[in-house]
A and B are shown apart, each in its own frame.
Chain A
Amino acid sequence: MKTSLLAADARTKKRNAAEARFKAYGFAAIIVAMLALLILLTSVLGNGMSSFRQTYIALDVALPEEKLDKSGVRDLSVMSKVTTIGYAPILRNALLDALAAQGIETELSDKDIGNMISKEAAATVRNKVLANPDLVGQTVSFDVLASGRIDGYFKGRVTMESAALDGNTSPEALMIAQALADAGVIETKFNWNFFVWPDASDQRPEAAGLGVAILGSLYMMIVVLVLALPIGVASSIYLEEFAPKNRWTDLIEVNISNLAAVPSIVYGILGLAIFINFMEFNQSSPLVGGLVLTLMTLPTIIISTRAALKSVPPSIRDAALGVGASKMQSVFHHVLPLAAPGILTGTIIGLAQALGETAPLLLIGMVAFVREYPAAYTPDAGLFGEASTALPVQVFNWTQRSDPAFVERASGAIITLLVFLLIMNAVAIYLRRRFERRW
């Protein structure tokens, strides 16, 4: 039977239909994935963007000498006897003065009005005064933190209805805050301190920041980079270029692949046993965290480095050996430079993975509440030996707090973490493009 090219036969139709269906499945999968990503990003950004802004009250604070410096000669040992409890009424009075100056009348007690100011504010002012004792006796302008509830009101988290049910604030306080905002005394502005300040206690979410966590994560990344990159690259070069191919190297290869799939919490237990219990490094320290993350990142780096070395065409090795280069010269002069983009990409992706890792850090105690900025080196604690926390652990920590203001902080920390990861991946792509060479 003669068939026409213009009419598709049954078999062709069936084949084309199958292909069209398959394309539709693939497209649907992409849509689902994009939707999931969209939901994730909207939820995180919706919750977290407000953490980058913070509400401040501009106060002219009179710093009375009789309260703050009983010695009268700016003796720091005497001045530091005045605790934040001594500073709180001074700030409260400043706020009351501001209310009076703006002509705002209220039925609220002085104590409730004082509660509009963050508990952290007294500490901030005290630190400034102790740093510069000459301020005593003067009236100084401070931008002090508003309390978490007031801050929440300007960010839409706290409403009149929720305030009516809230023991920590009241609709009246919010109305005063609104009046002060209208008068320009209360202002919500960009919050650099979120990236600088350390964590804060449950009562003062407005003062909680990522400073210690960022520093801790940075220290750990340094440890990981310094240890994992040379060890990983050197072992890959040995395995790929020099080691004889026998049962032992096969066994090692299989085990490295398996290590890459080991749950990270297992590395945490290992780190706890080896680095803290046996080697007695400080717990919660970025050194131990970095060592654990190094163990975790090594398989990733080794696997990607070996893949990069393998992808260098053998003709390049032949060419180098053919002109009389030694094995090592052929590897270091020719193979390694060609594999470098792949190695760098693998390393950065391994680092990014380590940056976001939480579970092993919980086990080695990096989940502790740390207010002190860890020093890179101290004679007592050694290199990276001071207690610290890390970005993902900070997220974990904040999501467990009861105050909803910490949900905002946690989302803000997630955004920060995602931005760091995005930057690292962008650098990886850039380096790959930049150094990629054709042959």
Chain B
Amino acid sequence: MEDMYHADRAMSTQQDIKIKADKVQVYYADNHAIKDVDVEIADKTVTAFIGPSGCGKSTFLRCLNRMNDTIDICRVEGDITIDGEDIYDPKVDPVQLRAKVGMVFQKPNPFPKSIYDNVAYGPKIHGLARNKAELDEIVEKSLRKAALWNEAKDRLTAPGTGLSGGQQQRLCIARAIATAPEVLLMDEPCSALDPIATAQVEELIDELRQSYSVVIVTHSMQQAARVSQKTAFFHLGNLVEYDDTDKIFTNPEDSRTESYISGRIG
């Protein structure tokens, strides 16, 4: 892990910009939850959002695939673009957006269906497979990528809810990548997992970086340091500092960042 973290630093600089946020404000009714957030998220990079509870990092993450739309009182202002396209444009269908921007949630939430159906659901509703053979292939590929194939291949018809917590989370990751997204959002994906399962998922995140732009919200600074190349520190709705991960953890510019990573605020 240590080696990986050092090796990453060199390659984290020259990447294309995948997501660009400009002066993003989020309100829950009268509560101004996100204030003036500007951020550029690079392609094929793991970007970590850290910060104390209630700082708005999950809220901002959910803006990126418009999951906040489901909350009536939530209002988003400012521009968020993916590949230069404004995702809050009235012409954008959030359903199409979410197929492009996959999401993994804090608590593993497999559908109460078979493992196969869990993974196959997304491709089915998006028409990604023309026949059963293609669907089988997508399911196998996704499960392999999520490092779950070897454990699950003999029990594809068993219910997904019967897996262990770590396996369930990897199943959710497999489900998210089955729709061939370009961005993968992860909202504290390891907070409900034990250290071994966490290590497996972190390893997986690092592999997923080859194909996707991964944005991960985490409470664990060690995790941010281990898996990410870029780190953003949120505090009270503000994006305080955004830079290369090793810079944030070794030489932060803002005093609040320093206090947080050294455990004085949180």
A residues contacting B by CB (< 8 A) are 244-245, 313, 315-326, 329, 333-334, 338, 437-439
**B117-136 at interface with A (beta carbon < 8 Å):** 121-122, 125-126
Give the docked Cα–Cα distance between A318 and B109 (Å): 9
B67 CB–A CB distance under 8 Å: yes
When the two chains form their complex, are residues A324 and B70 in contact, meaning their CB atoms are under 8 A apart? no
When the two chains form their complex, are residues B96 and A324 in contact, meaning their CB atoms are under 8 A apart? yes
Contact check: which of A318, A324, A326, A438 meets B105 at CB < 8 Å?
Answer: A318
B179 CB–A CB distance under 8 Å: yes
For A322, what are the chain B residues with a Cβ–Cβ distance below 8 Å?
65, 67, 98, 102-105, 176
Contact check: which of A317, A318, A326 meets B95 at CB < 8 Å?
Answer: A326
B140 → A minimal CB distance (Å): 18
**Given contacts A244-B72, A439-B161, are A323 and B109 in contact (CB under 8 A)?**
no
When the two chains form their complex, are residues A319 and B112 in contact, meaning their CB atoms are under 8 A apart? no
When the two chains form their complex, are residues A319 and B105 in contact, meaning their CB atoms are under 8 A apart? yes
B219 CB–A CB distance under 8 Å: no
Give the docked Cα–Cα distance between A319 and B125 (Å): 14
Interface size classification for chain B: 20 to 34
Residue on B with the closest CB to A439? B112
Contact check: which of A315, A321, A323, A439 meets B121 at CB < 8 Å?
Answer: A323
**Given contacts A244-B72, A319-B105, A319-B172, are A324 and B95 in contact (CB under 8 A)?**
yes
When the two chains form their complex, are residues A438 and B112 in contact, meaning their CB atoms are under 8 A apart? yes
Interface of B is mostly: helix
Residue on B with the closest CB to A245? B72
When the two chains form their complex, are residues A315 and B109 in contact, meaning their CB atoms are under 8 A apart? yes
Residue on B with the closest CB to A319? B109
B111 CB–A CB distance under 8 Å: yes
For B72, what are the chain A residues with a Cβ–Cβ distance below 8 Å?
244-245
When the two chains form their complex, are residues A334 and B98 in contact, meaning their CB atoms are under 8 A apart? no
For B172, what are the chain A residues with a Cβ–Cβ distance below 8 Å?
319
A437 → B minimal CB distance (Å): 5
For A244, what are the chain B residues with a Cβ–Cβ distance below 8 Å?
72
When the two chains form their complex, are residues A324 and B122 in contact, meaning their CB atoms are under 8 A apart? yes
Residue on A with the closest CB to B162? A438
B80 → A minimal CB distance (Å): 17
B107 CB–A CB distance under 8 Å: yes
For A320, what are the chain B residues with a Cβ–Cβ distance below 8 Å?
111, 121
A328 → B minimal CB distance (Å): 10
Give the docked Cα–Cα distance between A320 and B109 (Å): 10
Give the docked Cα–Cα distance between A437 and B117 (Å): 16
B110 CB–A CB distance under 8 Å: yes
Give me 19 other A-B pairs in contact (C-beta within 8 A), A316-B109, A323-B102, A324-B126 excluded: A315-B109, A316-B111, A316-B112, A318-B70, A318-B109, A319-B111, A319-B175, A320-B111, A321-B70, A322-B105, A323-B125, A324-B95, A324-B96, A324-B98, A324-B99, A324-B179, A326-B95, A437-B112, A438-B161
When the two chains form their complex, are residues B111 and A334 in contact, meaning their CB atoms are under 8 A apart? yes
Give the docked Cα–Cα distance between A245 and B72 (Å): 8
When the two chains form their complex, are residues A325 and B67 in contact, meaning their CB atoms are under 8 A apart? no
Give the docked Cα–Cα distance between A334 and B121 (Å): 11
Give the docked Cα–Cα distance between A319 and B126 (Å): 15
Residue on A with the closest CB to B110? A319
When the two chains form their complex, are residues B67 and A329 in contact, meaning their CB atoms are under 8 A apart? no
- 8 A-B pairs with CB atoms under 8 Å apart are A316-B109, A319-B175, A322-B176, A323-B178, A324-B125, A325-B95, A333-B125, A437-B112
**Given contacts A315-B107, A322-B105, are A338 and B125 in contact (CB under 8 A)?**
no
**Given contacts A245-B72, A318-B67, are A325 and B109 in contact (CB under 8 A)?**
no
Residue on B with the closest CB to A329? B125
For B102, what are the chain A residues with a Cβ–Cβ distance below 8 Å?
322-323
For A326, what are the chain B residues with a Cβ–Cβ distance below 8 Å?
95
For B110, what are the chain A residues with a Cβ–Cβ distance below 8 Å?
319
Give per-residue flags for B165-190: 1 if the beta carbon is below 8 A from chain A beta carbons, else 0.
00000001001101100000000000
Residue on A with the closest CB to B100? A324
**Given contacts A316-B111, A329-B125, A438-B112, are A323 and B175 in contact (CB under 8 A)?**
yes
A314 → B minimal CB distance (Å): 9
**Given contacts A318-B109, A338-B112, A438-B161, are A323 and B122 in contact (CB under 8 A)?**
yes
Give per-residue flags for B210-233: 1 if the beta carbon is below 8 A from chain A beta carbons, else 0.
000000000000000000000000
For B125, what are the chain A residues with a Cβ–Cβ distance below 8 Å?
323-325, 329, 333
A255 → B minimal CB distance (Å): 21
Give the docked Cα–Cα distance between A221 and B125 (Å): 37
**B63-83 at interface with A (beta carbon < 8 Å):** 65, 67, 70, 72
A141 → B minimal CB distance (Å): 64
A64 → B minimal CB distance (Å): 76
B124 → A minimal CB distance (Å): 9
Give the docked Cα–Cα distance between A438 and B112 (Å): 7
Give the docked Cα–Cα distance between A157 and B72 (Å): 69
When the two chains form their complex, are residues A323 and B179 in contact, meaning their CB atoms are under 8 A apart? yes
A264 → B minimal CB distance (Å): 36
**Most interface-central of A313, A317, A324, A338 (chain B CB within 10 A):** A324
Give the docked Cα–Cα distance between A340 and B49 (Å): 39
Give the docked Cα–Cα distance between A334 and B98 (Å): 17
For A329, what are the chain B residues with a Cβ–Cβ distance below 8 Å?
125
B64 → A minimal CB distance (Å): 12
When the two chains form their complex, are residues A315 and B105 in contact, meaning their CB atoms are under 8 A apart? yes
For B105, what are the chain A residues with a Cβ–Cβ distance below 8 Å?
315, 318-319, 322
